[in-house]
Amino acid sequence: MFKNAIVRKPCPEMIDGLTSASLGRPDFLKALEQHSQYVDALRSCGLEVEVLEADSQFPDSVFVEDVALCTPECAIVTNPGACSRNGEKLKIRSVLESYYKQVESIRAPGSLDAGDVMMVGQHYYIGISQRTNTQGADQLIEILERYGITGSTVPLKEMLHLKSGLSYLEQNHLLISGEFINHPAFAEFQKIEVDANESYAANSLWVNSTVLVPSGFPRTLAKIKKTGYRTLILDVSEFRKLDGGLSCLSLRF
Ligand code: CIR
């Protein structure tokens, strides 16, 4: 169970955030509204949510998941792989220090976005992507092992981040899409497959037995419900325009 979440409000400069999607520019006011509904949803799942002020220096800073990994034992400040986002790491350390005694770091030449890290109990899967390199993953595994946690790597071919295509819903249930469906690393999970035309919904979010699901993906929603989860549907259209999903908007621990 999670107790806390940290989010960062979107800044007006988000309209210039990184993207590979061709869905147009985000509407900032709509994004603010969607963000506030996201925070309400986390609170309704029992989390204490710390809302950090918007940071205009970094257009993508609303995607706070990428700059840190929060484990039950320690927090790890990452070294984000995109140049325009790398400085976001400097703003999160002091926030984490108010929750954790141990705050570790990934250092160059290692790079790592925590959107590439999926926690499954005491084992963490780490995507090797355009943002996360093998040095970053090796450093993370070395840190995790000091705290009794294991890690393994999964090379990505198409996705931006590991969790763009995978979400662990606990109880061995794995929401899975695209290049990961037949990947041997995930063979032992009870898979909930996401159709190709609903691939964005592969980034759904388990929070204390409720699954937050993006709006507009009825087949995936039905499959998650059929598995027995309570669901909450959230419109995150403005963050999707920047390749961001539900998990990217918070740190949960
Ligand atoms: C980026 O390209 O870094 C942002 N526009 C989107 C980050 C999404 N974060 C995530 O998947 N964890």
State whether the beta carbon of 59 lies less than 6 angstroms from ligand 1.
no
Task: Read off the pTM.
Answer: 0.97
State whether the beta carbon of 115 lies less than 6 angstroms from ligand 1.
yes
CA of 224 to the centre of ligand 1 (A): 24
Mutate to test the pocket of ligand 1, among 11, 38, 66 (most ligand atoms within 8 A of CB): 66
Residue pLDDT, tens place only, 144-155 = 999 999 999 999
4-8 vs 251-252, strand pairing mode = antiparallel
Mutate to test the pocket of ligand 1, among 8, 22, 60 (most ligand atoms within 8 A of CB): 60
Long-range contacts of 141-147 (CB under 8 A, 24+ apart): 143/74, 143/76, 143/104, 144/71, 147/71, 147/73, 147/74, 147/102
Tell me whether residue 161 is one of the annotated catalytic residues: yes
Write down the pLDDT at residue 105: 98
Write down the pLDDT at residue 99: 98
- DSSP reduced 3-state for 148: coil
CA of 248 to the centre of ligand 1 (A): 7
Q: How far apart are CA 174 and CA 196, in angstroms?
A: 16
- Give how many domains the chain has, as a whole number: 1
Q: At 175, which CATH number?
A: 3.75.10.10
Which position among 83, 161, 173, 183 bears the catalytic label? 161
Write down the pLDDT at residue 65: 98
Query: Per-10-residue mean pLDDT for the chain, 253 residues long?
Result: 98 98 97 98 98 98 98 98 98 97 98 98 98 98 98 96 98 98 97 98 98 98 98 98 98 98
State the DSSP code for 111.
Answer: -
Which position among 11, 45, 70, 248 bears the catalytic label? 248
- In this structure, which residue's CA is closest to atom 12 in ligand 1? 115
Q: What separation in angstroms does the CA of 121 have from each of 136, 172, 239?
A: 21, 10, 28
Cβ pair 81, 133 in contact under 8 A: yes
Query: Would you mind telling me the total number of residues written for the chain in this entry?
Result: 253
Sheet holding 190-193, edge to edge: 166-168, 173-176, 190-193
State whether the beta carbon of 116 lies less than 6 angstroms from ligand 1.
no
Question: Per DSSP, what are the bridge partners of residue 119?
Answer: 124
* Ligand 1 atom nearest to 243, measured from its CA: 6
Write down the pLDDT at residue 64: 98
Tell me whether residue 123 is one of the annotated catalytic residues: no
CA of 244 to the centre of ligand 1 (A): 5
State whether the beta carbon of 227 lies less than 6 angstroms from ligand 1.
no
Per the structure, the complete domain to which residue 109 belongs is given by 4-252
Structure tokens at 75: 């927090």
Residue pLDDT, tens place only, 11-45 = 999 999 999 999 999 999 999 999 999 999 999 99
* Ligand 1 atom nearest to 247, measured from its CA: 12
Torsions phi, psi for 80 (to 5 deg)? -55, 140
Torsions phi, psi for 251 (to 5 deg)? -105, 135
- In this structure, which residue's CA is closest to atom 2 in ligand 1? 18
Torsions phi, psi for 3 (to 5 deg)? -110, -35
